[in-house]
Amino acid sequence: MVSFDSLTESLRSGRPVSDHRFDKLYPPEVRVHSKVHFTPVKVALRVRDWIGLDPGLRVLDVGSGCGKFCLVMAASGGGRVTGIEQRPFLHEAAVGAAEKLGVTVRFLCGRMEELDWREFNVFYFFNPFYERIAYRRGIDDRTPPHAGIFFDHLRVVKDKLDGVKSGARVFTYHGMGGRLRSDWNLIRSEPIGTDELQMWVKA
């Protein structure tokens, strides 16, 4: 069996890791989607730079895919990391990759609508509902385009974020599909990867 110890060690010590190297954690049918659908390692490491190593961090990746963002966050720092993903094959890939890396992430297989978000203070969105309004094919046929569902999901997100504590942070990469409500302030943004990373803080 291939050892991923040196990969884990690189992430722990903040050394750059290529996506090509990281994606070897995944089977080919997952890896093939990485470039378009999953967070580049350097974007996750930038989030880590911005939020630091506070053990009180409770991070939620909304639509965690194969867990790339969560795994880099968990391997590189403090706090606890949770990812929720609706597609079982991606959830399983995330669990398998966590085992290979030897890091702890709470990966949940389910829908973000059904989770209580109030225990978290950091939220990450890589435009998770985009497939619902995309003109090109998504990861598979599970979530066909449907603008109504897209806007329903956005409303659910905003309502859930109404319930979280002041000082909570939202990170977006490629946006989240709409604007946050007015009590969220954009604090920082930076071009990175194929778009921009933004950090919003709840007043």
Ligand X SMILES: C[S@@+](CC[C@H](N)C(=O)[O-])C[C@H]1O[C@@H](n2cnc3c(N)ncnc32)[C@H](O)[C@@H]1O
Residues making contact with ligand X (CB under 6 A): 37-39, 61, 63-65, 68-69, 84-87, 90, 111-113, 126-129, 153
The residue number with the shortest CB distance to ligand X is 63
H/E run at residue 74: helix 68-76
Q: Which residue number, 49 or 113, has a Cβ lying nearer to ligand X?
A: 113
Alpha helices for 133-199 (secondary structure H): 147-162
3-state secondary structure of 171: strand
Nearest to 34 by CA among 76, 67, 57, 82: 67
d(CA 202, CA 166): 5
3-state secondary structure of 132: helix
Q: Which residue number, 90 or 122, has a Cβ lying nearer to ligand X?
A: 90
User: Quick check: 30 and 97 in contact, CB under 8 A?
Assistant: no
Nearest to 173 by CA among 196, 157, 202: 196
Q: Which residue number, 3 or 60, has a Cβ lying nearer to ligand X?
A: 60
At its nearest, how many Å lie between ligand X and the CB of residue 36? 8
Q: Which residue number, 129 or 200, has a Cβ lying nearer to ligand X?
A: 129
At its nearest, how many Å lie between ligand X and the CB of residue 31? 12
Residue 73 bridge partners (DSSP): none
Nearest to 61 by CA among 102, 131, 120, 134: 120
At its nearest, how many Å lie between ligand X and the CB of residue 63? 2
Report the Cα 46 to chain-centroid distance in Å.
13
At its nearest, how many Å lie between ligand X and the CB of residue 140? 9
Q: Which residue number, 144 or 183, has a Cβ lying nearer to ligand X?
A: 144
At its nearest, how many Å lie between ligand X and the CB of residue 191? 17
Q: Which residue number, 64 or 198, has a Cβ lying nearer to ligand X?
A: 64
At its nearest, how many Å lie between ligand X and the CB of residue 110? 7
